[in-house]
């Protein structure tokens, strides 16, 4: 690319960091705080999917609070991660690991919805709080281990990369980009698609079973508690679909970009 094009791209990046990043920061912080307040209500504490969304929102809030302020400062060329090693290492480690945790927790929520929608009792029994808490702990540990190397191999004041805070070696950059694109984006999104289709299939089957039963038996009015639980489940499923759509929309291009950087080193 010519110097003029590169300079124009840097200018666009600065403008986005200055004016768009604060808006994203505001909505992200407010949205995640509201999610935490709503999902921590007593009526939702026993719902495994609600717990997954609650932890995901809390971790997403951490990711935004650590990651976006430096992007805003970068728009004014005041980003401390460009020049200070410990801020560089701390930021990239927290942002990458928490982003991975949040995405995988949404994936687990998709799997939980599939278990709940299954006609098999054994599958429905697997979606309980005890198992979900174990899964959350496992996701947190594995996400930390996946990016612990960034504390060692990332460095500020790098001049041979797209960012000042970047991997010191080609090997470090390739490992980070491959882990991020495959483990953080491609695998969880693929699982969301697979289990999302299976949820639709299960719901379709359950509707057929309900229609069949109503033709041969008398319909017994559902209790208020059962209706409330079903209403909560529907809202959580809608929330899950919105999360999946947004993750696919914004994360897929990033996975492609990471692969491009890996296959075409600077």
CB 54 within 8 A of CB 240: no
Which two three-digit tokens encode residue 196? 């999302």
Domains in the chain with CATH codes: 3-209+223-263 (1.20.1070.10)
* Residue that is written with structure tokens 């307040």 in the block: 37
Nearest to 240 by CA among 137, 112, 130, 128: 112
Per-residue pLDDT of the chain (266 residues; tens, 9 = 90+): 555 665 676 677 778 778 888 999 999 999 999 999 999 988 887 889 899 999 999 999 999 999 999 989 988 888 999 999 999 999 999 999 999 999 999 999 989 988 888 878 887 788 889 999 999 999 999 999 999 999 999 999 988 877 889 999 888 988 998 899 899 998 998 998 888 888 877 776 765 554 444 444 444 445 566 666 666 667 767 777 777 777 777 777 777 776 676 666 55
* Residue that is written with structure tokens 């005041």 in the block: 78
Look up the pTM and report it. 0.83
CB 192 within 8 A of CB 109: no
H or E segment at 44?
Answer: none
H or E segment at 121?
Answer: helix 121-126
CA dihedral sign of residues 12, 69, 63, 26 = negative
> Under the phi-then-psi rule, with left for phi > 0, alpha for psi from -120 to 50, and beta for the rest, what region is 236?
alpha
């Amino acid at each position: 690319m010519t110097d003029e094009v590169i300079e124009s791209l840097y200018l666009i990046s600065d403008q986005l960091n200055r004016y768009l990043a604060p808006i994203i920061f505001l909505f992200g912080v407010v949205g995640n705080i509201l999610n935490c307040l709503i999902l921590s209500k007593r009526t939702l504490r026993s719902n495994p999917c609600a717990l997954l969304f609650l932890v995901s929102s809390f971790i997403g809030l951490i990711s935004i609070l650590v990651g976006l302020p430096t992007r805003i400062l970068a728009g004014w060329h005041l980003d401390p991660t460009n020049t200070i090693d410990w801020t560089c290492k701390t930021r990239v480690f927290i942002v990458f690991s928490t982003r991975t945790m949040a995405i995988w927790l949404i994936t687990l929520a998709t799997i939980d919805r599939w278990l709940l929608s299954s006609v098999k009792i054994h599958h429905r029994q697997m979606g309980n709080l005890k198992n979900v808490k174990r899964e959350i702990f496992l996701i947190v540990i594995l996400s930390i281990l996946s990016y612990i190397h960034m504390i060692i191999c990332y460095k500020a004041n790098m001049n041979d990369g797209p960012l000042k805070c970047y991997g010191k070696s080609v090997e470090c950059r390739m490992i980070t980009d491959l882990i991020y694109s495959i483990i953080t984006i491609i695998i969880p999104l693929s699982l969301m698609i697979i289990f999302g289709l299976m949820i639709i299939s299960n719901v379709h089957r359950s509707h057929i079973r309900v229609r069949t039963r109503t033709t041969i038996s008398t319909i017994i009015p559902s209790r208020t508690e059962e209706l409330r639980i079903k209403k909560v489940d529907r809202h959580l499923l809608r929330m899950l679909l919105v999360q999946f759509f947004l993750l696919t929309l914004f994360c897929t291009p990033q996975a492609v970009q990471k692969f491009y950087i890996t296959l075409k080193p600077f």
